[in-house]
Amino acid sequence: MKLYERLLLENKAWAQEQLEEDPKFFSRLADLQTPDFLWIGCSDSRVPADRITGTQPGEIFVHRNIANMVVHTDLNLLSVLQYAVEVLKVKHIIICGHYGCGGVKAAMSHHSYGIINKWLRNVKDVYRFNKEEVDAIEDEDKRLDKLIEVNVREQVMNLAKTSIVQTAWKNDNRPHLHGWVYGLENGIIKPIFEMPAGTEIDPFYTYDNL
């Protein structure tokens, strides 16, 4: 059997299992999705949003990229965000990083990775903005953990800087923004930062004509 054929085989078995458990599973989901959550996570294969949160198809709208970044010029992220907030009307947005993130680790190094350098520049900027807090930690592994946490916090704040989130906060008192970090070693998610709808943000970034 070829490597990829295992996936197709497993898929058939999974579909069969779902139908046995709930004959209407697919017909119900095919009609519409009404997820309460938007998940912005790292692309790392060890951090599958639904598996680690015990959620089912239809429950989480997902966007993943290297190091779970919210980059204000990223048309892909912004499209997902706008659709989730304005059409799906999600109640919560979760930025979920993870300890041992290779993307953040690479950004801390001085090694060139080619085109990924441009993406990791955003993480380097987070490091620069928070250098004192991160460099206060002597142990190298713990310093990486700290930057991973700080990066999640910055990405939550980046969400609040968008007119998409500010408009929804003003008109609909949602979504609630969460910053979490997942532990590869124990499977536990640690909440580290949150911004409930309406949280005051740095006035530099507020829009007064929304």
Can you say how many angstroms the Cα of residue 17 is from the centroid of all Cα atoms in its chain?
29
49 is a site residue for Co ion (CB under 5 A):
no
Alpha-carbon span 21 to 4, nearest angstrom:
26
| Shortest separation between residue 102's beta carbon and Co ion, angstroms | 6
Among 38, 101, 152, 156, binds Co ion (CB under 5 A): 101
Q: Which H or E run contains 210?
A: none
157 is a site residue for Co ion (CB under 5 A):
no
- Does the annotation count 63 as an active-site position? no
Residues 6 or more apart in contact with residue 192 via CB below 8 angstroms: 149, 152, 153, 179, 180, 181
- Does the annotation count 135 as an active-site position? no
Q: Using an 8 Å Cβ cutoff, are 167 and 210 in contact?
A: yes
44 is a site residue for Co ion (CB under 5 A):
yes
Peptide bond between residue 175 and the one before it cis (omega within 30 degrees of 0): yes
| Shortest separation between residue 207's beta carbon and Co ion, angstroms | 31
Among 37, 38, 39, 42, binds Co ion (CB under 5 A): 42
| Shortest separation between residue 122's beta carbon and Co ion, angstroms | 14
Residues 6 or more apart in contact with residue 79 via CB below 8 angstroms: none
| Shortest separation between residue 78's beta carbon and Co ion, angstroms | 21
Q: Which of 63, 98, 174, 178 is catalytic?
A: 98
Give the nearer residue to Co ion in terms of CB position, either 69 or 165: 69
Alpha-carbon span 138 to 192, nearest angstrom:
21
Q: Which of 6, 22, 28, 46 is catalytic?
A: 46
Give the nearer residue to Co ion in terms of CB position, either 64 or 92: 64
List the catalytic residues: 42, 44, 46, 98, 101
